[in-house]
Amino acid sequence: MNTRKLTIAIDGPAGSGKSTVTRKVAEQINYLYLNSGSMYRTVTLLASQRGISPNNRTQLTDLVQKQCRIDFADNGKKTLLNGIDVSEELRHPEIEQQVVVIAKIPEVRQEMVKQQRRIAKNSGVIAEGRDVTTVVFPDADLKFYITASIEERARRRFNEFQTKGVACSFEQIENEIRIRDQQDKSRQHSPLKKAEDAIIIDTTQLEINQVIDLILKKIKEHQ
Ligand code: DC
């Protein structure tokens, strides 16, 4: 079947399951998986490698504009910084802590948006993040907002940590998610919000496969 290559955008809060869902849908339809959070993490990694403080806006602006090219390889499974695979390093706790500060800087966001559009230019793409439905791809063919209750998102993250043997309390995780939501939604530039034309999927009561099927169905209807 000859199908049209679409731009699909998915936003939602931390822990909503959107990364897993987006990655799996991308695999199934053979689209590029564009994880915009990984791009903010990559900038954070580069700043750390160069010894630049996350608060040094001037140096960070220069860094992202002149020395930071981000690409995805292997259909989005790998993140490349200036051609080098940095995927593994992006999940380090140090990056996790600093990325929030760096993602607030308007010049960093502007450059990331530019690079996200460059990456999406020549292929079918399914992008996920906090502002891909509103700022990066306002004209996307299909938009989704994936969410779940705070309790459910905390429960998922708690189970994940338990499986990995990371010591933590449920209350601590719930609290961290509340803070992340607050930071993402109240940010001055490109805060997380529901695009008016986004299809809202509340995953609180859904299994991951049900969410994937729902999205695949919508994509099929659109082609
Ligand atoms: O989705 P994630 O946890 O990998 O995102 C990492 C950080 O980047 C998080 O603090 C939110 C921020 N982010 C953003 O500001 N805009 C995006 N489009 C994606 C992520």
3-state secondary structure 132-199: HHHHHCCCCCEEEEEECCHHHHHHHHHHHHHHHCCCCCHHHHHHHHHHHHHHHHHCCCCCCCCCCCCE
Residue type, 222: H
Q: How far is the CA of 215 from the centre of ligand 1 (A)?
A: 22
Output the pLDDT for position 1: 45
Atom of ligand 1 nearest to the CA of 38: 4
Task: In whole angstroms, give the CA distance from residue 216 to residue 142.
Answer: 11
Output the pLDDT for position 89: 96
Q: Ligand 1 within 6 A of 40 CB?
A: yes
Q: Ligand 1 within 6 A of 90 CB?
A: no
Atom of ligand 1 nearest to the CA of 18: 1
Q: How far is the CA of 99 from the centre of ligand 1 (A)?
A: 8
- Tell me: pLDDT of 183 over 70: yes
Q: Ligand 1 within 6 A of 103 CB?
A: yes
pLDDT, average across residues 36-56: 97
- What mean pLDDT, rounded, does the chain reach? 95
Output the pLDDT for position 122: 83
Output the pLDDT for position 93: 86
Output the pLDDT for position 116: 98
Task: In whole angstroms, give the CA distance from residue 54 to residue 163.
Answer: 32
pLDDT, average across residues 169-177: 95
Residue bearing the CA closest to ligand 1, atom 4: 37
Maximum CA extent, the chain: 51
Q: Ligand 1 within 6 A of 36 CB?
A: yes
Closest by CA position to 121, among listed 106, 137, 98, 110: 137
Output the pLDDT for position 212: 98
- Global pTM reads 0.94
Q: How far is the CA of 65 from the centre of ligand 1 (A)?
A: 19
Q: Using N-to-C axis directions, what is the helix angle for 208-222 and 18-29, rounded to 10°?
A: 50
Residue bearing the CA closest to ligand 1, atom 9: 100
Output the pLDDT for position 223: 83
Residue bearing the CA closest to ligand 1, atom 10: 100
Dump pLDDT digits (tens) for 68-100. 999 999 999 999 999 999 999 998 889 988 999
- Tell me: pLDDT of 159 over 90: yes
Output the pLDDT for position 21: 96
pLDDT, average across residues 125-129: 98
- Tell me: pLDDT of 160 over 80: yes
Dump pLDDT digits (tens) for 110-124. 999 999 999 999 889
Atom of ligand 1 nearest to the CA of 128: 18
Residue type, 85: D
pLDDT, average across residues 174-186: 93
Ligand 1 pocket mutation pick from 16, 36, 108 by most atoms within 8 angstroms of CB: 36
pLDDT, average across residues 123-145: 97
Atom of ligand 1 nearest to the CA of 100: 10
> 13: Cβ–Cβ under 8 A, 6 or more apart, which residues?
147, 153, 177, 180, 181, 184, 185, 192
| Contact status, residue 47 vs residue 64, Cβ threshold 8 Å | no
Task: In whole angstroms, give the CA distance from residue 213 to residue 132.
Answer: 21
Dump pLDDT digits (tens) for 22-40. 999 999 999 999 999 999 9
Output the pLDDT for position 164: 87
- Tell me: pLDDT of 203 over 90: yes
- Tell me: pLDDT of 2 over 60: no
